[in-house]
Every structure is written in C-alpha cells, then in structure tokens.
C-alpha cells in the first residue's frame, strides 16, 4: 500500500502540524549547523578575533539577504494559498515569476554587498583587529550570495506546497559538504575566514540547485494549462505580501546594525562571547521558529480553503507544543552552559569570554516562550496575508528593542542588550494578539476568484505537462 501523503487540509490539526514541523525542525537545526560549524572551526582553529569578525559580518550579510527573505515570504504565502485553493496554474506561475526575480535580486545583492561591506564595518565601530577577517569573510559570501537567496526561495516554495522533507534532506547533504570543506579550507588550505565562507557558499549552492530540480519534478505532476514564465499581476500579489516583509527586514537589519554597533563598543571579547552564545541561542530557538513557519503554511492553505476552525485548533496545539520545547531547551542550556560554550572556543580562551556568554544565555532561556508566542501569532497572521499588521509588529519589536538597549545601557551595561530582545518580543505580542482575537485576518484574500480548480497528480515518474 502506498504511503499516505501529508495533507494540511484534511489531517487532524495536531498530527498535520507535528508531521509537517518535524522535518522543518531538523532542517532548521542543520541550517544552524552551517553557522555552528563555522563558529566552532573559527573559534578553535583560527582565533577569537576571527570568531568575533564572523559574528559581526553576519549583521552586514543580513542587510543584503533579508530583502530576498522578505520576498520569499510573499512567494510562500501566495503559493500556499493558491495550492490550498487547488489553483495549480497560478501555483506554477508564482514559482516561475519568483525564480526570475530572485536570480536578478541575488546578482544585484552580491554587487551591492561587495560595495558596502567595508563602509558598513567602519560604521559599526568594528575593532581594527577584526577588520581583515571580516572583509575576507564577506568578500566570499557576497560573491556567491545568489545561491543563498535562491535556496531561501526554493525552501519557502517547498514548504508552501506542504513538503517540509525536501528542504531537510537538502540541508543534511549541504551541511555535510560544509563540514568537510570547512576543515579542508581552514586546516589544509589555510584560507582563514575566506575558506569558511567558501564552504558555506558551496554548500548552499548545492542545496539550491538540487532543491530546484525536485521542485520542477513536483510541478510536472501538476496537470494545468501552460503557465506564464513571468506574470506582472502575480508579481504584484507576491509583492503585496513580500514588500512589507522586505521593509520589515530592512528596518530589522538596521536595528541589528545599531545593536551590533553598541555591542562592538564593549570590545572583541564581548563580541566573541556573544557570537558563541548566540549560536547556542539559535539552536534553542529553532523549534519555535520552525513551529512559526509550520503554522504559517498550515494557516495559509486552510485559509485558502476557508477552514478557519482548523486554523484556530492548529494555533492552540502549536502554542502548547512550543511551551514544552521552551521548558526542555531552557533546562538543558541553563544546566550545562559552560560545557556548551566550550564547544565553540578553544580552552585557551579567557574566563571572561565564558562568563559573558553565560550571562547572555542565562537571560535568554527565560525569554524563549515570549519569542515562541510572537513567532507563532505572527505566523498565523502572515499565512492569512495580513502583511501590514505583521510589518507593524516587527517594526515595534525592532524599535522597542533598540530603544531599550540604548536607553538602559548606561544603567544596566551589557544586560541592557540581553534584556532588549524579550522586551521587543513582548511589545510585538501586545499588537498581534488583539488582532488575532478580532478575527479580521479571516477577511483578507489574496487569491483570484475566477480560476478553475485543477489537478495535482503525484507520481513516482514525475510525468505530466512539461514546464
């Protein structure tokens, strides 16, 4: 008997979300493994200045890549709602249109990144001992940033179609490539931070190209009229969701830049400690982020099918599961902080580095559930296409976070930075929760009403109308 495919529209909400989220969580953990391995290799085989430089570089990289991540949200929501409504020609058109846009965006983003990386590092008060390491890392990253953007888009498309396993498998393979190349480029070739960046780009390139081939196969199984390769109206629909997310990400990146600049003022030891601790934090947050992404796609498909009660049931289950995840990860991290931080830095690192990293993590573990509620609530609203409200939530998070950090740093010191994150998340929830309770998200529609339902025929051969 053939194995039953996951159906986000028909399976029980708890079962559907859990089955959908688990592969996504595994994929998210391996996504974290990319930066995790980079951190371990740099911290143990180069030095703490290089580790701090890679951490600082991530903020600048986000300025460029977050534009693509924002548009990928638009692609995901539009694709998921059309897929939920069984309008498969529009699904294909959305994917094709996005592909063209993301290739152009990736190439342009690479040129922009190479142009701004040094001025941005200077603007962020980057210590001189970190500068060369950061420039080497960013130079390679921006040369191959098109692959990073394309993978983000393909990942979102796969998830929108209800397939969370393909991104997971691609990340498993890409992470293995990254680990091997990290060690070769650093220990054998002695390329320093440039080698770490090259390993990341090659791994992401492999994941992007392979994921696209699998998406093409799934599209071939959709029997439809010939879709357009580029559709202005479809791009408009994607941008209606994606551009607020782009603006949100751009402002978020600016806020991160401001906070990173404040962090850099404490010196390279503090930056290195934060970089190491933040990788632990990223792993701990992965379950909550994955649940937020899962509920967003689940909500989008069910809203497209006008099954609002399933959305509410899914939200309740997801919040309960998030609470369990937060308790487990919090206890583990709090009880083994030094041992965990020791994975990222060599034994010769100063005791101060360990103390600062532990200080950050001991604040972070008590704020995970606040972050989870924020991600899950905005995930539902994002799936509904309520882009403006999600934008407002994100801007509120960012402005209150940066404002708190700068206002309180004179009194609280580093603790102002650590406490600014939960403060921003709580302020965002204060906006998202009333919006959800109002039910206004049910009235938002982004899919055309005139399209006929079409047929999706899964098959092993992938035969069907050609792309």
145-176 pLDDT tens trace: 898 888 888 888 887 877 777 777 887 888 88
Confidence check: pLDDT of 90 > 50: yes
The string of pLDDT tens digits covering residues 323-345 is: 888 898 888 888 888 787 777 66
DSSP bridge partners of 222: 456
The continuous run of DSSP H or E covering 456 comes out as strand 455-456
Confidence at residue 4, expressed as pLDDT on a 0 to 100 scale: 58
Work out whether strand 455-456 and strand 222-223 pair parallel, antiparallel, or are unpaired. antiparallel
pLDDT band at 141 (very low <50, low <70, confident <90, very high): very high
Confidence check: pLDDT of 1 > 50: no
Confidence at residue 352, expressed as pLDDT on a 0 to 100 scale: 77
- Concatenating the DSSP letter of every residue in 216-240 gives HHHHHTEE-SPPPS--HHHHHHHHH
Place of tokens 């888009």: 153
What mean pLDDT comes out for the span 103-114?
A: 88
pLDDT band at 227 (very low <50, low <70, confident <90, very high): low
| Residue 35 near residue 196 (C-beta atoms within 8 A) | no
Confidence at residue 453, expressed as pLDDT on a 0 to 100 scale: 43
Q: Which two tokens stand for residue 356?
A: 């600062």
Confidence at residue 228, expressed as pLDDT on a 0 to 100 scale: 59
Instruction: Return the higher-pLDDT residue of 8 and 462.
Output: 8
CA angle 182, 184, 188 (to 5 degrees): 130
The residue among 176, 166, 254 whose CA lies nearest residue 213 is: 166
Q: For residues 180 and 189, give the distance between their C-alpha atoms in angstroms, rounded to a whole number.
A: 12
Q: Which two tokens stand for residue 94?
A: 């959305």
Q: For residues 431 and 428, give the distance between their C-alpha atoms in angstroms, rounded to a whole number.
A: 5
CA angle 309, 439, 313 (to 5 degrees): 25
Q: Which two tokens stand for residue 372?
A: 């989870």
Task: Please report, rounded to a whole number, the percentage of residues in the chain having pLDDT higher than 90.
Answer: 7
Place of tokens 């609002």: 308
CA angle 182, 188, 192 (to 5 degrees): 55
pLDDT band at 431 (very low <50, low <70, confident <90, very high): very high
Q: DSSP state, 441?
A: G
| Residue 318 near residue 14 (C-beta atoms within 8 A) | no
Confidence check: pLDDT of 355 > 80: yes
Confidence at residue 350, expressed as pLDDT on a 0 to 100 scale: 63
């Amino acid at each position: 008997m053939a194995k039953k495919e996951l159906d986000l529209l028909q399976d029980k909400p708890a079962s559907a979300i859990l089955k959908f989220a688990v592969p996504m969580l595994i994929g998210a953990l391996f996504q974290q493994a990319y930066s995790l391995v980079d951190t371990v290799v740099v911290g143990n085989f180069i030095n703490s200045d290089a580790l701090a430089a890679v951490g600082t570089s991530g903020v600048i990289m986000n300025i460029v890549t977050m534009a693509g991540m924002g548009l990928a949200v638009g692609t995901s929501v539009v694709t998921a709602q059309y897929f939920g409504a069984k309008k498969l020609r529009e699904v294909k058109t959305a994917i094709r249109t996005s592909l063209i846009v993301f290739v152009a965006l990736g190439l342009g983003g690479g040129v922009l990144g190479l142009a701004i990386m040094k001025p941005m590092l200077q603007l962020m008060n980057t210590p001189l001992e970190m500068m060369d390491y950061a420039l080497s890392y960013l130079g390679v990253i921006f040369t191959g940033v098109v692959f990073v953007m394309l993978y983000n888009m393909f990942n979102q498309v796969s998830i929108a179609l209800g397939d969370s396993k393909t991104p997971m498998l691609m990340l498993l393979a890409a992470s293995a490539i990254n680990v091997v190349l990290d060690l070769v480029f650093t220990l054998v070739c002695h390329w320093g931070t440039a080698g770490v960046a090259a390993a990341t780009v090659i791994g992401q390139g492999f994941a992007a190209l392979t994921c696209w081939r699998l998406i093409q196969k799934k599209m071939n199984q959709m029997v439809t009229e010939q879709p357009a390769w580029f559709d202005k109206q479809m791009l408009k629909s994607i941008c209606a969701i994606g551009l607020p997310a782009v603006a949100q990400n751009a402002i978020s990146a600016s806020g991160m830049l401001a906070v990173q600049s404040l962090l850099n003022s404490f010196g390279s030891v503090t930056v290195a400690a934060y970089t190491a601790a933040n990788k632990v934090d990223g792993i701990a947050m992965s379950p909550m982020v994955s649940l937020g992404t899962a509920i967003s796609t689940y909500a989008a498909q069910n809203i497209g099918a006008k099954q609002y009660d399933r959305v509410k049931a899914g939200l309740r289950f997801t919040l309960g599961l998030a609470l369990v995840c937060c308790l487990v990860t919090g206890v583990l991290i709090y009880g083994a902080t030094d041992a965990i931080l020791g994975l990222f830095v060599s034994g010769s690192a100063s005791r101060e580095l360990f103390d600062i990293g532990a200080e950050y993590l001991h604040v972070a573990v008590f704020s995970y559930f606040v972050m989870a509620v924020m991600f899950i609530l905005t995930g539902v609203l994002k799936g509904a296409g309520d882009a403006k409200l999600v934008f407002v939530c994100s801007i509120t998070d960012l402005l209150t976070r940066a404002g708190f950090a700068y206002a309180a740093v004179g009194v609280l010191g580093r603790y102002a930075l650590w406490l600014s994150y939960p403060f921003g998340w709580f302020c965002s929830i204060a906006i998202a929760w009333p919006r959800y309770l109002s039910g206004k998200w049910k009235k938002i529609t982004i899919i055309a009403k005139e399209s006929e339902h079409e047929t999706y025929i899964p098959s092993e051969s992938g035969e069907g109308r050609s792309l």
